[in-house]
A and B are shown apart, each in its own frame.
Chain A
């Protein structure tokens, strides 16, 4: 069975602060993929990143960065210099051999001006 845990249900920061969203996963599959999605108030899911289990390189994309630690089964997401437009619910998700996504509970990020 697969499981994704996002321990932080809600985070509130002030604009320009850095914020890290935590994600811990469980899977028995040796090959798997990890994802982060953003869900703004409009409801659509916006794909942010994917990572496969064989690639532990950290990635940076603009103000976003991801830290994949296989040893601790974590795939954390950091937003640098947060902006009000970053306010959304963020989901971490996992897919293994079954091809369907297992989602974490989501973290609601509120960035205040």
Chain B
């Protein structure tokens, strides 16, 4: 199983500023995922971060707003840029699992609870 450390666990930020969330995995993984969970909502995939290439963003999310770095196979960052109160959410990083005949696990960081005031 993978262990994921995500930080900060929570933050309160002023509108117009940016916050960078870090995600560290204890093993090498090809893909990492970033999710957003708005208050009272389900989890929505923001983007897939691949080492050595640009992140792939889902519909409704753009690189200028959510730049992602993936400098190596164990680390990724997500930046929430030029924040507004609508960005107040829980952000989670995740790593995929082994599919096929092997058992599958899905792993999540502890989440970052962001409040923009």
Contact = CB atoms under 8 A, between A and B. Distances in A.
Nearest to B111: A43
B38 to A, nearest CB: 12
B108 to A, nearest CB: 5
Contacts of B96: 95, 99-100
A44 B111 contact: yes
Interface residues of A, number: 21
Q: Say which size band chain B's interface belongs to.
A: 20 to 34
A54 B111 CA distance: 31
A64 interface: no
B106 A50 contact: yes
B99 A91 contact: no
B42 A33 contact: no
Contact of A95 (B41, B44, B48, B99): B99
A33 B90 CA distance: 24
Interface in A63-113: 91, 93, 95, 97, 99-106
B91 to A, nearest CB: 10
Interface string B79-116: 00000000000101010110110011111101101000
Interface of B: 31, 33, 41-45, 48, 90, 92, 94, 96-97, 99-100, 103-108, 110-111, 113
